[in-house]
Amino acid sequence: MNAHKYKIIVLIIIALIFTLFISMGFAQPAQDESTTCITCHSLQGMGASIVQMWKDSKHFQNGVGCYDCHKAEAADVDGFEHHGKRIATIVSPKDCAQCHEQEVAESDGSHHAKGAQFIGSLDNILGEIVEGAAAANSGCRQCHGSIVQVDKNGKLDAQTWPNTGIGRVNPDGSKGSCTACHSRHSFSVAQARQPEACGKCHMGPDHPQIEIYTESKHGIKFNAVRSTGVMNLEKDEWVVGKDYTAAPTCVTCHMSATPTQKVNHDVGRRISWTLRPPVSIKLDSADVRRDRMKNVCLQCHAKEHTENFFTQYDEAVKLYNEKFGKPAKSIMDKFYADNKLTKTPFDEDLEWVYYELWHHEGRRARMGASMMGPDFTQWHGFYEVAKHFYNKFIPDAEEIQKGSTKDVMDSEFHKWKKGLTDEQKKEILDFYKKRYGE
């Protein structure tokens, strides 16, 4: 039997098996167009794994087939003819909204949907220009997203796709990629509820949320029970305190339901501080946002514990702002205003020092405090901030202009640099005598 005849027989057998599978009631019949897709793509080397993931999904169970998601309208610039049907490679939030309208609307109003706006920012200048476009394409844009372009041949431009960036601007104008969290083609809620789904992007030196979570009591508890089944990650309704009690994941705190809050795909609704910029600020409706987050905490923690935690967190953010963030920013702003620094970012050493001071070390300190990560708050955070502020940033600023840091260093925060007081020296001496003896 030659290869061509063998392939035809295989296709016929697959089609018969699929028809039998449907007739046995495993799923509602998909459209004829989807049946055609499955027949071909079930072959090895043509997407058999994709078909299997789909068969394991709730889409399959509810009769949602390939063509339901991938069909393209005549006006879709990324659509192309494929075996007599017009389809699109990218399934955008606009497509998902056919069934998941509320979820898409919530996501569209979130900060995630603005992820691609980093293009043109200081971060993007670093990645796109200082490092190079290829670094940004394979790095920054994989999480933030790109503005997807279609070339003159109707193909997706390799400089802008593939990525599953949460702020990706799709050819149909919609923002984001649902598959950033709900990996295709299984689209599992259980997978999206686990910390690793967030950790693909929220990790590393400048936003190490996954590392902080892992060292926190929350992460330790989750890792201890995740294989036991008590988290009920597969449940349709997933309410903390009702469907699971052992531990929280990222989405527990930021998205998922409580007995009095519904699940919401706007991941910033419960965040009161922004910890990203050089100086943190309270967001609009900060008290409302804080109350939403406290409502989650109170499902597992007592009121006094919750209130005191947020007091500690707020004080850590304010300490960073007042002692390091605002003073360093004021020095940099004055240097730019007085033309002591050029307008070109990253062409002078002080700009690199300052960037890492707030963008790496300062974020780690603040984010560590926000997520109960003591090591990131201290040694990866405030220690690094203090070390580079006092031993690098301030001396470098003085080299640019003598006396430029006097007002900053004369504040109560930094007077220790002029020597400890007798009272402070005695307090330290008494501590060591009590601990170690005479």
DSSP line for 242-309? TTB-S---HHHHHTSB-SSS---S-TTTT--EE-SSSS-EEPTTHHHHHHHHHHHHTTTS-HHHHHHH
- Which contacts qualify for 279-287: CB closer than 8 Å, 24 or more apart? 279/321, 279/325, 279/326, 279/329, 279/358, 280/317, 280/320, 280/321, 280/325, 280/366
319-374 confidence digits (pLDDT tens): 999 999 999 999 999 999 999 999 999 999 999 999 999 999 999 999 999 999 99
pLDDT the model gives residue 99: 97
- Dihedral angle sign, alpha carbons of residues 252, 256, 262, 264: positive
d(C-alpha 115, C-alpha 180), whole Å: 12
Distance between alpha carbon 359 and the CA centroid of its chain, in Å? 16
DSSP symbols for 194-224:
SHHHHHTTS-SSS--HHHHHHHSHHHHHHHH
pLDDT the model gives residue 118: 79
N residues, the chain: 438
pLDDT > 60? residue 28: no
Average pLDDT of every residue of the chain: 93
Q: For the chain, give the longest Cα–Cα distance.
A: 97
pLDDT the model gives residue 23: 46
279-332 confidence digits (pLDDT tens): 999 999 999 999 999 999 999 999 999 999 999 999 999 999 999 999 999 999
Domain boundary assignment for the chain = 3-70, 91-180, 303-436
State pTM to two decimals: 0.90
d(C-alpha 152, C-alpha 200), whole Å: 33
Backbone angles phi, psi at 157, to 5 degrees: -65, 125
pLDDT > 90? residue 33: no
Distance between alpha carbon 33 and the CA centroid of its chain, in Å? 36
> Could you tell me what percent of the chain has a pLDDT over 70?
92
Distance between alpha carbon 361 and the CA centroid of its chain, in Å? 18
d(C-alpha 405, C-alpha 411), whole Å: 10
pLDDT-derived band at 4, boundaries 50, 70, 90: low
Cβ atoms within 10 Å of 286's Cβ, excluding its own: 14
208-261 confidence digits (pLDDT tens): 999 999 999 999 999 999 999 999 999 999 999 999 999 999 999 999 999 999
User: Which one, of 170, 143, 176, lies nearest residue 157 by Cα?
Assistant: 170
pLDDT the model gives residue 25: 43
End-to-end CA distance of the chain: 94
pLDDT the model gives residue 295: 98
Q: At what angle do helices 48-55 and 32-41 cross, to 10 degrees?
A: 130
* 3-class SS of residue 22: helix
Cβ atoms within 10 Å of 24's Cβ, excluding its own: 8
* 3-class SS of residue 87: strand
* 3-class SS of residue 86: strand
pLDDT > 60? residue 14: no
**Helix (H) or strand (E) segment spanning residue 82:** strand 79-82
CB 262 within 8 A of CB 106: no
pLDDT > 70? residue 30: no
CB 176 within 8 A of CB 113: yes
User: Which one, of 247, 228, 227, lies nearest residue 299 by Cα?
Assistant: 247
d(C-alpha 169, C-alpha 387), whole Å: 40
81-103 confidence digits (pLDDT tens): 998 899 999 999 999 999 999 99
Identify the weakest region by mean pLDDT among 60-74, 113-127, 234-248, 397-411: 113-127
Identify the weakest region by mean pLDDT among 7-21, 66-80, 152-166, 354-368: 7-21
Backbone angles phi, psi at 51, to 5 degrees: -60, -40
pLDDT the model gives residue 36: 87
Cα-based angle 194, 195, 198 (whole degrees, multiple of 5): 110
261-283 per-residue burial string, b: 16 or more CB within 10 A, e: under 16: bebbbbbbbbbbbbbbebbbeee
pLDDT-derived band at 26, boundaries 50, 70, 90: very low
